[in-house]
A and B are shown apart, each in its own frame.
Chain A
């Protein structure tokens, strides 16, 4: 009896302790607007990435987002592991120049190789900000992990743009006046503060060719979902390995612990305590 109560109490203390972290992670989501919730294939203890979706997502990234955002922690070779073929990277690898020193000792550039990171298209952050209404587009390699709400937030952001008129009607700035996006700015329901320096990157159906067999229609929502899934892979390429190993480890530990328990009871059988 005493023992059962002890275990229960230990559980309560542990849960209460962890629950203490909840407010902070909830708080981090954009300005209190709850993100849309998507039933991602990679959620849950057995979740995996949908290969076809990741490939479409790469297409969206390469065609649309890459003109502003880098993906520097991901190397071209990493894309091979998820089934993206070299020919699908070709265009970007030839256009993204990498610096090198040639045989004459001159600083020149060359096309990217498989062993190179997917760099940003700008020389540096200042140039990036200059070209983008004063805000440098952040590197997207970790964006899904770096935002409260994760993939749901990114998807909501990409599909959460509203018109300037709706913005003025719906949202107020910190000064209490209606929010008005200035030239080069846009209004987004999910972005903290709502005024964002990124114009809606996905704006029209069919913006990216989904020409694979059995591919869904390239609606804005579909493209947003696909590129978000791709970015989720980019942020956590180990996810499938991790969950697969996790299942084995948990089963092993469960059996081991059960065994220890049986031995424990056996050893203690004769002890009156």
Chain B
């Protein structure tokens, strides 16, 4: 029997006997070939770098996390001190911890850019819906992981953030109190809470790895999108992943590591809160309880829901404002799941969507403002200041700004996205990825774009 006979006969480059023996039992080599030959659109821009960067950060978080766990003690009496021992007595412990703490924040930065890339280029449209949904599941898991990780050093912000966030569940009618007690493993945030958070903080990253595998499997099934939003059609439109994108990803990774290293070595506590260097004290509430920056927009949405908020009025007879805020906060993420249906446009890329493009950037600004709102006390008057260069008062409280931007957040998804998709006249699409490069020239107007087989490949 020839080595190549039988099912799943290894194809592609010839291999040695041992390699073939393995290949027939476990398709290691063909999988590697699949990845190196994976036909990738040749027109990807730098916004397509962030996926591989996110994968790298995930691995880096797991490696640094496991080393931290070797020295960390998940007990209310020892957690804070054990982190200080890591910082002071473990060889390069400070490096591992600062990599992990800043890595968490960098992970969110990268994933947020990755997500907004998707919103701009319509990456959630057919046939990539499942990739998109898996991505949102990854984001939700990351949030749970980072939230529980932040509790582990058991500083003041750890404790009070845990308290505030777990308390949110108590807003659920009827069962809220029991759920919170169940989450805490007691009647307040205490040792059982810390212990289970550590256990889950160790577990969830590996669940994320699993979902990432699915995310990539789905991607390799339908192939990568690209900035033009027209599918790759001929071999002329694509190039093999290796070496073209491996080398480009390495370059992107280098730039990313420079940013990360800058924070780790020169501003390791810039993104942290000073109060987290005070040991947790259940009797001393900090003046301002603020989450990490990557949670600030959701925090702003949560706090926007007061009895006076007009978005709450229609449901005020039904649920409390607090519960409405909790629903809105989770809803602000869950609504992303609906993007494949909310966006009614046939065109993927915002490059050809003059109106959507404008509102995309308005939306980006909206989320950034929400972040500012989340960082500030709701009843204070909002000042816009930059490092002492200028400082002017808006005359509005942060709460009011939070209400406006919260409204806009949902207005964008529920009204603007579907309506723009229907009304907008897209600019003409190129026939293929190679066309604009080879100078085929764009033809016709919006109508021409419509008359051609749509980029959505719908029936």
Contact = CB atoms under 8 A, between A and B. Distances in A.
Q: Which of A16, A78, A264 has most chain B Cβ within 10 Å? A: A264
Contacts of A201: none
A89 B220 CA distance: 65
Q: Which of A23, A74, A138 has most chain B Cβ within 10 Å? A: A23
A40 B186 CA distance: 47
A20 B293 contact: yes
B264 interface: yes
B247 A267 contact: yes
A249 B376 contact: no
B301 to A, nearest CB: 15
B372 A273 contact: no
Contact of A243 (B109, B243, B265): B265
Contacts of B277: 142, 145-146, 235
B88 interface: yes
Interface string A1-45: 011001100100110111111111101100000000000000001
Contact of A257 (B87, B116, B254, B266): B254
Given A13-B113, A27-B288, A28-B274, A246 B261 contact: yes
B99 to A, nearest CB: 11
Given A73-B88, A253-B254, A272-B438, A20 B375 contact: yes
Given A23-B375, A242-B268, A245-B265, A13 B364 contact: yes
Interface in A224-273: 235, 237-238, 241-243, 245-247, 249-250, 253-254, 256-257, 260-261, 263-264, 267-268, 271-273
A155 B253 CA distance: 41
Contact of B258 (A18, A147, A241, A257): A257
Interface in B132-181: none
Nearest to B44: A273
Interface string A201-241: 00000000000000000000000000000000001011001
A261 B287 contact: no
A141 B265 contact: no
Interface in B255-291: 255, 257-259, 261-262, 264-266, 268-271, 273-275, 277-278, 287-288, 290
Nearest to B294: A17
Given A17-B293, A20-B372, A192-B287, A73 B84 contact: yes
B296 interface: yes
Contacts of B257: 253, 257
A257 B274 contact: no
A267 B243 contact: yes
A148 interface: yes
Contact of A260 (B81, B251, B278): B251
Contacts of A245: 95, 265
B164 to A, nearest CB: 15
Which secondary structure characterizes the binding site on chain B? helix
A172 B377 CA distance: 21
A251 B429 CA distance: 44
B371 interface: yes
Contacts of A253: 254, 257-258, 261
B376 A27 contact: yes
A271 B239 contact: yes
Contact of A3 (B46, B254, B264): B46
Interface size class of A (residues with CB under 8 A): 35 or more
Nearest to A19: B386
Contacts of A247: 265
Contacts of A272: 42, 434, 437-438
A17 B84 contact: no
Contact of B265 (A242, A264, A271): A242
B262 A10 contact: no
B254 A260 contact: yes
Contacts of B109: 14, 17
B66 interface: no
A144 B46 CA distance: 40
A248 to B, nearest CB: 9
A242 B258 CA distance: 15
Given A245-B95, A253-B257, A20 B371 contact: yes
Contacts of B332: none
Nearest to A272: B437
B244 A271 contact: yes
Nearest to A23: B375
Contacts of A24: 273, 288, 290, 375-376
A253 B42 CA distance: 27
Contact of B88 (A19, A27, A78): A78
B79 to A, nearest CB: 14
B375 A21 contact: yes
Contacts of A192: 287
A147 B274 contact: yes
B19 interface: no
B45 A2 contact: yes
B274 A145 contact: yes
Given A23-B376, A238-B87, A242-B268, A256 B254 contact: yes
Nearest to A260: B251
B291 to A, nearest CB: 10
B42 A273 contact: yes
Contacts of B239: 271
A261 to B, nearest CB: 5
Contacts of B293: 17-18, 20-21
7 contacts: A7-B46, A17-B112, A20-B372, A21-B271, A27-B377, A253-B257, A271-B244
Given A20-B371, A21-B375, 4 more contacts: A14-B113, A20-B293, A23-B376, A257-B254
List the 7 shortest-distance A-B pairs measured between CB atoms, nearest first: A246-B265, A257-B254, A146-B277, A20-B371, A260-B251, A238-B94, A142-B277
Interface of A: 2-3, 6-7, 10, 13-14, 16-25, 27-28, 45, 73-74, 78, 138, 141-142, 145-148, 150, 192, 235, 237-238, 241-243, 245-247, 249-250, 253-254, 256-257, 260-261, 263-264, 267-268, 271-273
